[in-house]
Amino acid sequence: MSKDPNISTLITCAIIDDDPFISDLLLDKLTQHFPEIQVIAVANNGQEGIQKLMKFRPKLVFLDVEVNDMTGFEMLLQLPEINFKTIFITSYRHYAIKAIRFNALDYLLKPIDLEELKNAIARFKNQYEQSSLPNPINQALVNISTLDEKEHVLNLNIQKGLVKIAVKDVLYIQGDRNYSQIQLGNKKVVVSKTLSDLAEILDDHYFFRCHKSHLVNRIHVHYIVNSFSLLLSSGQTLPISRRRKKPFQNWFSEINSPRREQS
C-alpha cells in the first residue's frame, strides 16, 4: 500500500479490479506520482470490494465497471451509503461507457495513461474541495434502477458545476461548434459538449440526429410535416437533412406506427 508519513492530508483510496495487472499498474502509478494518495484497500471482486469499502471508508475509489462477480454499478447498489467519489476503470467501447458519460461520471480507459490519471485526480480534488456539490454517482444509480428511460436524468458538467436535465424535458439539442444548446421548453441550457458527443451518449435514450445541427427527442416529435421538416409538440419545426431523411422516417415509423406522415 502507498503511504508517505510526511504528507499531512492524505487522500485515502481503494482499488477494485479483477485484473491484478491493472490493479498493480494503478497502485504503482499512484505510489510514484501521487504521495498525497494512500491506497488502503485493494479488492479483486465485488463482494470483497463491498466489505472493504464498508470497513475502510476511503475518500476515493477506482472501480472496474465489470468485476468478475458483478458490475461496478451492481456493487455500488449494495452499499448502505456512498460517501466517496468514484473513478471508473473501463475498456474502450465498453458497454457501460455511455452510462458513465450519461451520468457525468469520471473514468479511465485501460491501459491507464499517466496524464489521464493526473487529470482524473485533479478533477477529483476540485470536486472534493466543493463538498456541497452533489455526488453524481447517486443520480447514476437512480437512473440505472429506473427502467423507463424517459424518466432518467442527464448529468452534464458545466462551468458552474453540475446541471441535471430530465430526458423527458428536452425538446431538441442544437449544435454550435464545440458547444450545444439544449432546448427545454422556453429555456435553453448551453453545455460545452459537441452535438456528436451528446448524440453518442443519448442515442439509446429516445434521441435521433435528424440534421447535422439538430438532435431531436422522439417524445416531442408530433409528426413529419414533409420530407425535410418535422413538427414538435411545442409548435417548433426542425429540419431533416436529405442524407438522414430515410433513416429518420424509418426510426419515426417504428416508434409511432399509428401516426402517418402529413404533407
Residues of the chain with pLDDT under 50: 2-8, 258-263
What global pTM score does this model have? Answer: 0.84
Place of cell 505510489: 31
What's the pLDDT score for residue 1?
A: 52
Cα–Cα distance, 236 to 247 (Å, whole number): 21
What's the pLDDT score for residue 94?
A: 66
What's the mean per-residue pLDDT of the chain? Answer: 89
Q: How far is CA 71 from CA 23, 28, 63, in A?
A: 17, 24, 10
3-class secondary-structure state, position 170: coil
What's the pLDDT score for residue 260?
A: 40
Bridge partners, 39 (sequence order): 13
What's the pLDDT score for residue 69?
A: 92
What's the pLDDT score for residue 258?
A: 46
What's the pLDDT score for residue 165?
A: 94
Q: How far is CA 31 from CA 5, 8, 13, 63, 191, in A?
A: 13, 16, 12, 18, 36
Bridge partners, 207 (sequence order): 217
For 202, residues 6+ apart whose C-beta sits below 8 A from its C-beta are 102, 154, 167, 173, 215
What's the pLDDT score for residue 9?
A: 80
- The backbone region for 104, taken as left when phi is positive above 0, alpha when psi lies in -120 to 50, beta otherwise, is left
3-class secondary-structure state, position 172: strand
What's the pLDDT score for residue 62?
A: 98
